[in-house]
Amino acid sequence: MSANTLSHVAETAAPETHRPNQRSTTAARVRHALGLVARVLLCLVFGLPLLFMFISSFKPDLQIFADLGGIKAFLPVGDLSLDNYLGVFDRVPFAQFMFNSIMISVVTVVLGVIVNSMAAFALARITFRGSSIVLGVILATLIVPFETLALPLLWWVNKLPFFGPGGFTEGWLDTYQVQIIPFIANAFSIFLFYQYFDSIPKELDEAAKVDGAGWFRIYRSIVMPLSGPAVATVAILTFLPTWNQYLWPLMSVQSEELRPVMVGIDYFKQLNVSWGQIMAYASIITAPVLALFIAFQRSFINSIASSGVKG
């Protein structure tokens, strides 16, 4: 067979060889395009309400309702001003509310990370009889809604002793600690830490014990430094419900100087309701939540993606 004949056979056979690769490439492009469309749709579903809230915070009430029927509701057009934001500070003691929420949330997150991680460390790394039963009881509390416990908890905190400026008094109502201490221990946070700690090789504990380290040293110097994604996840999941707490402060706090930002929304529902000011208030109190997620999003996503498996 001549060289020309061989080259002709090779040229005619080549397309047949590359067809499967072309089909797989086309399928991959289609999957990529569908995934991109799905992500865009999800962004619209979750992002448009936030965009509407932010844009409406610059509009007067009449224009907000006039723009509801069209695309103008999501566009910064019309009579835009900062009057709603200025009205927020005139209508409520916003600085005090913001300070209270930040202080309560930060303290709850810090203490929650410490307490829940130590409880999970004991269950995951220290072998003792009945540890599985203890973990099961802790997880069983997740099925009990907070609304069921609110009234009994309110009665209990009203009976607890409190050391204040005037000495010991009875009752924690209308204090900062009543908004912090009941929410430090969290069953879901303990479970997250437990899953993550259980995936860390226990040979590290044995090596540390040979060097004379105790359990607290192992927890502080070995396990916790390796658990950054779990800490970030617990911090976000603790911060969100604490920041959004409404029912409990409404029941347990009466003084205006102790109220968090969520209770402050009620001030805008009294007398003349101003929807523009409500949108401005909601935009301001949403900013810390977005900032926290942006700061810890990489660790949060890594923790969720790994599903408790340390790689």
Residue 155: give its domain's CATH number. 1.10.3720.10
Identify the band that residue 19 occupies on the pLDDT scale cut at 50, 70 and 90: low
State percent of the chain over pLDDT 70. Answer: 87
pLDDT at residue 246 greater than cutoff 80: yes
Same domain, 174 and 280: yes
What's the confidence (pLDDT) of residue 4? 55
What's the confidence (pLDDT) of residue 162? 75
Least confident of 23-27, 79-83, 117-121, 164-168: 164-168
- The mean pLDDT of 235-261, rounded to a whole number, is 91
Residue 256 lies in domain: 92-306
Give the domain-ending residue among 31, 53, 84. Answer: 84
Identify the band that residue 194 occupies on the pLDDT scale cut at 50, 70 and 90: very high
Is 6 a member of any domain?
A: no
Is 1 a member of any domain?
A: no
Same domain, 192 and 75: no
- Report which of residues 122 and 6 the model is more confident about: 122
Distance CA 163, CA 147 (A): 28
Top mean-pLDDT range of 61-75, 237-251, 259-273, 280-294 = 237-251
Is 258 a member of any domain?
A: yes
Looking at the 3D structure of the chain, how many domains does it have? Answer: 2
Give the domain-ending residue among 84, 104, 136. Answer: 84
pLDDT at residue 9 greater than cutoff 50: no
162 within 8 A of 170, measured Cβ to Cβ: yes
Distance CA 128, CA 134 (A): 10
- The mean pLDDT of 272-300, rounded to a whole number, is 84
Distance CA 29, CA 23 (A): 10
Identify the band that residue 280 occupies on the pLDDT scale cut at 50, 70 and 90: very high
* Arithmetic mean of pLDDT over the chain: 84
Same domain, 292 and 152: yes
Q: Is the dihedral of CA 203, 205, 208, 209 positive or negative?
A: negative
Is 110 a member of any domain?
A: yes
Structure tokens at 211: 């060097």
Give the domain-ending residue among 84, 112, 133. Answer: 84
β-pair type (167-170, 161-164): antiparallel
269 within 8 A of 284, measured Cβ to Cβ: no
Which ranges of the chain does DSSP label H, i.e. alpha helix? 3-56, 61-66, 83-91, 94-125, 131-140, 146-157, 187-199, 203-210, 215-218, 228-243, 247-252, 275-306
Is 192 a member of any domain?
A: yes
Distance CA 34, CA 30 (A): 6
Is 12 a member of any domain?
A: no
